[in-house]
A = this chain, B = another copy of it.
Amino acid sequence: MSLPSVAAMKMDTFPTIRDQRGALTVVELGSLLPFTVVRLFFMTGVPAGTARGQHGHYRCSQYFLCQGGRLQTIVSDGAQERTFILEPGQGMLVPPGIFASETYLEPNTILQVLCDRPYEKDDYIHSMDELRAWRAKA
């Protein structure tokens, strides 16, 4: 099994059309995602400075899409850590086997997550120790 690394991770910026009626951002998923979206969730009303996430997934692939505000995402593969700042209309693929923590830098920051699997309680990697132990065996 080839384990994903944070070195290979990157941000995408989607086209936004702005006029007096607001901003419209378009995401074409066909060419973007290596999976079909079966579940999505989004976070709103998060107080600025709040950290969420702080877990990884064994199987679930996710795509993080910032829809408002400003989001700091720290990702780790157990060996290397990287920080991304997502602004509205920016996103990044977060494959399984990556630990991610998100800090909501501004009020009205909105993060939407697109997933390739339904919710599975046993799919969560709760700590860096658990991540490293699993990656060492994988």
Q: Tell me the A residues contacting B by CB distance below 8 Å.
A: 18, 20-30, 36-47, 50, 52, 67-68, 88, 104, 108, 110, 112, 118-119
Contact = CB atoms under 8 A, between A and B. Distances in A.
Q: Looking at chain A's contact residues, is the secondary structure mostly helix, strand, loop, or mixed?
A: strand
A37 B115 CA distance: 12
B22 A68 contact: no
A22 B45 contact: yes
Given A22-B44, A26-B40, 11 more contacts: A22-B45, A22-B104, A24-B41, A24-B43, A27-B40, A28-B38, A28-B39, A37-B37, A42-B67, A44-B68, A110-B110
A77 to B, nearest CB: 25
20 contacts: A18-B45, A21-B47, A22-B45, A22-B50, A23-B44, A24-B41, A24-B42, A28-B38, A28-B118, A28-B119, A29-B39, A30-B38, A30-B39, A36-B36, A36-B37, A44-B67, A44-B68, A68-B110, A108-B108, A110-B110
